[in-house]
Chains A and B, each alone.
Chain A
């Protein structure tokens, strides 16, 4: 298995605030990884660094062996925590925009998923509920055939039934050699589909382990372990 993502001694400071310190991490191809940590632990900062929306204060990131940049952006499909799409646009217009932007975008996939979630491609984002908007964004991101998907809180705003559908969408739409990194605190909802988890707290890596190992060695679910490690 080759390594799709490697972080070597990643540190990021904002002024005198240390958001991440000395993160070392290797993620293999073909994995579904949960990036888990309490609020403010540095999950989004790490994802933004991988995306080159931020640059590290120290250390090095490699995506498929390359520094983050134009070449890696072709391989990475990113779902930000906040929407960046113009809300006056209709869904089909956004799909056309994505087709212009990304070679690996498959519009037929997007239309198919929209149909299954009963979302009308002629609707404007402005007229949609927050949950529906989140679904549209996730559909756009998962309709690319990327090597690495970075999903920052993909299921936060949607109802439990739609959550199941979205997880199903994630499982059935990724190529076997692609890796998905999901940041979330809704652990029990995603636990079944994860291979590997990464716990971070206060900008530090607490644990990087396979889910099977946790259940085998500790006899508890990732959710239970999380509650134990991050007990307030």
Chain B
């Protein structure tokens, strides 16, 4: 998986997003062990301190659990993962709606475009 970073935000926040995505897409399923910080940093070609920061933030949010002797793993709490997933979905949708507003679409128009598209996809 390629690691891509935008230049306008801190790298650690982008690392968090990408690791979350990996958890949601079951690359790191619930309860699975994460590789050592150093390996993850090398893989993403970032400073180990930055990776450490990202992981400790995720730990504070409860998505990652640290075991005293055996490194870090993804939480086994499915609800927790679902919550984080929903949060990310809401962020994406908010961003989308803001963009549509800038383009001059009102709520009704946006909804009808979406309904139209999902109908298309069903066929």
Contacts and interface: CB of A to CB of B under 8 A. Distances in A.
A172 B47 CA distance: 9
B48 interface: yes
Interface stretch (A72-80, A140-148, A187-195): A187-195
Interface stretch (B38-46, B92-100, B103-111, B114-122): B38-46
Interface stretch (A50-58, A99-107, A220-228): A220-228
A171 B9 contact: no
Taking residues whose C-beta sits less than 8 angstroms from the other chain, chain B's interface range is 10 to 19
Given A172-B38, A192-B5, A32 B10 contact: no
A220 B41 contact: no
Contacts of A193: 45-47
A215 interface: yes
Interface in A171-206: 171-172, 176, 192-195
A224 B41 CA distance: 24
Contacts of A114: none
B50 interface: yes
B26 interface: no
Interface of B: 5, 7-12, 38, 41-42, 45-50, 53
12 contacts: A171-B41, A171-B42, A172-B38, A176-B48, A193-B47, A195-B49, A211-B10, A215-B11, A216-B9, A219-B8, A220-B7, A223-B7
